[in-house]
Structure 1
């Protein structure tokens, strides 16, 4: 379990809300995230998912 971090730790690391981290996990947007009951375990080395709401992160059409 040492290679994983909690939702709270990911929230601090990526500077986004805990609820947003949970939604990203539910949507399978964080590679390697695993659910244990009501909690999520996120790989330490998982990159922060791109925010599709921001213009610079969207694919050019």
Structure 2
């Protein structure tokens, strides 16, 4: 299996390195491993799903913004 660094995974997926580490810690990147304090991500790993939620409000309509 080929590995990439957290930085390389972040660049590949359009995330910050901190978010990649967050996903590794929470087991959301399959087969990611922490070796000697460094996270390694499989080169062919899929980008984790973004499970954040919005604030629950509906977007304001354009008419409401004008008036």
Normalising by structure 2, report the TM-score: 0.74
Please tell me the root mean square deviation across aligned C-alpha atoms, in Å.
1.4
Q: Which residue of structure 1 aligns with residue 46 of structure 2?
A: 47
Q: Structure 2: where are the runs of 5+ without partners? A: 55-67
Cα shift at 1:54: 5.2
Q: Structure 1: where are the runs of 5+ without partners? A: 56-61
Query: Rg bigger for which structure?
Result: 2
Instruction: Number of aligned residue pairs: give it.
Output: 54
Q: Deviations over 1:10-61 (max 9, x none)?
A: 0100010000000100000000100012111100000001001157xxxxxx
